[in-house]
Amino acid sequence: MQEFRYKARNKDGSATQGIIEAENEQAAASLLISKNIFPIDIKAGAESSLSGFSFGKKISRKDKVFFIRQLATMTKAGLPISQALSTLLEQSTKANVKKMIEQMTRDIEAGGTLSAAFGAFPETFTKTDINMIASGEASGKIDEVLVHMAVQTEKSYKTLKKIKTVFIYPAFLTLVVIGVVTGLMIFVLPQMEDLYSGFDVQLPIPTRILISLSHFLARYFLLVILIAVAIFVSLRIYTRTNETGKYIWHRFKINIPIVGKFVQLSYLSIFTRTLSSLVASGVPILDSLKIVSEAMPNVVYTDSIMQVRGKVKQGKSLSASVKEDELFPVLISQMIGVGESTGELDSMLKNMADYYDNELDAMTKSLQSLMEPIMIVIMGGIVGTIIICILLPVYSIQNFVKK
């Protein structure tokens, strides 16, 4: 499947444009016609603009959150989309955001839809965003959909910030430990070795091992750095471009002791909130599950959601399908079951998303309070071991001096 950018006219003759996935141009055209959209031009690839305008970098998550929230507020107040965009354009101070809004305004004023205007910026707006807008346009509830979208975007942004907050401190301390150990091995230990060489004593085995490592690092320091960087880059490429490597890495992330539980909670929050927003926007459940699977940042969850979708397509209920997958807690299947029986699936999913967000908040605080003492103990243990190995010969030297 590949993406095609199209210009077309609706059944009533109004202009529209957007992005569609298909095997080839002919398949894309057939798919559009089946939706009563009659293509004028279809091009492969994802250019930045239908008019050939070249855009700068994508906008930040923070700017995206602000843009959607402001747009939702204005449309909820009754402002037409084009007027709301014009107002946002006047308020915007960042060049890349202004360029984006200018192009969106031109597309809307030319008769295009808001979903097509969003679709012109795939580097900023996800398929979830575009499908939610399209469903809101079809149902005539674009203001409500934008509010849902604003809430979801804000929550996703906060979830990502929580994840970064948990891992920034350990990463910083790890770098500090590496720096301190490297300094001791390359600069301090050689000086101590010169001191010990003045005495005719045999150094303890731990000290001799440490001195050998010090010699190796001093001689091959740049080579060690290059090898470490090469291994890191190779693993990163392998886990990002190779499907097997990506699956192994993503499976490992959710199984790391303590931290894995936190990662799982973040994925469950994304799953429930995204699915809730899509269902509330009127997107069919099969389409919603496909969009959610693509929105998941972990391929293990992507595969599981697609398996759930396959079972739902065969006629099973969503709750029963989710219950059979070990990645989803029993609580989720139970709440989905309640939602299906009461016709309030979107509300139940939203409640579950809020529940997981609260769990994430509590776990973030717990992990932050745990990480500091754990990392300090590890750091102290490593540095302390090196210092003990350096000082061990002092006892042998004292005995030599007494003799």
Q: Alpha-carbon distance 245 to 228, whole Å?
A: 19
Are residue 39 and residue 152 in the same domain, yes or no? no
Q: What is the pLDDT of residue 47?
A: 44
Report yes or no: 129 and 116 within 8 Å, Cβ to Cβ: no
Are residue 349 and residue 212 in the same domain, yes or no? yes
Are residue 171 and residue 29 in the same domain, yes or no? no
What pTM does this model have?
Answer: 0.65
Are residue 185 and residue 39 in the same domain, yes or no? no
Report yes or no: 18 and 115 within 8 Å, Cβ to Cβ: yes
Number of domains in the chain: 2
Backbone φ/ψ region at 325: left (φ over 0), alpha (ψ -120 to 50), beta:
beta
SS3 content of the chain, % helix, strand, coil (to 5): 75, 5, 20
Domain-embedded: residue 198: yes
Domain-embedded: residue 226: yes
Domain-embedded: residue 123: no
Report yes or no: 357 and 156 within 8 Å, Cβ to Cβ: no
Could you list the pLDDT tens digit for every one of the 403 residues in the chain?
A: 667 777 777 666 666 777 777 777 777 777 777 777 777 777 775 444 434 343 445 788 888 888 988 888 888 888 888 899 999 988 888 888 888 999 888 888 877 888 888 888 888 888 778 877 887 787 777 888 888 788 778 877 777 777 777 778 778 888 888 888 888 888 888 888 777 777 766 778 888 888 888 888 888 888 988 999 999 999 999 988 888 999 999 999 899 887 888 889 888 988 998 888 888 878 889 988 988 888 788 999 999 999 999 999 999 999 999 999 999 999 999 999 999 999 899 899 989 988 988 888 888 888 777 777 888 888 888 888 888 888 877 776 766 565 5
Domain-embedded: residue 243: yes
Domain-embedded: residue 251: yes
Q: What is the pLDDT of residue 52?
A: 38
Domain-embedded: residue 63: no
Q: What is the pLDDT of residue 386?
A: 84
Are residue 40 and residue 160 in the same domain, yes or no? no
Are residue 388 and residue 260 in the same domain, yes or no? yes
Q: Which helix (H) or strand (E) holds 19?
A: strand 15-22
Q: Alpha-carbon distance 33 to 39, whole Å?
A: 7
Are residue 328 and residue 209 in the same domain, yes or no? yes
Domain-embedded: residue 136: no
CATH number at residue 366: 1.20.81.30
Domain-embedded: residue 212: yes
Eight-state DSSP code of residue 344: -
Listed residues 29, 46, 63: the one ending a domain: 46
Q: Structural domain of residue 348, as residue ranges?
A: 148-403
Are residue 204 and residue 341 in the same domain, yes or no? yes
Are residue 31 and residue 177 in the same domain, yes or no? no
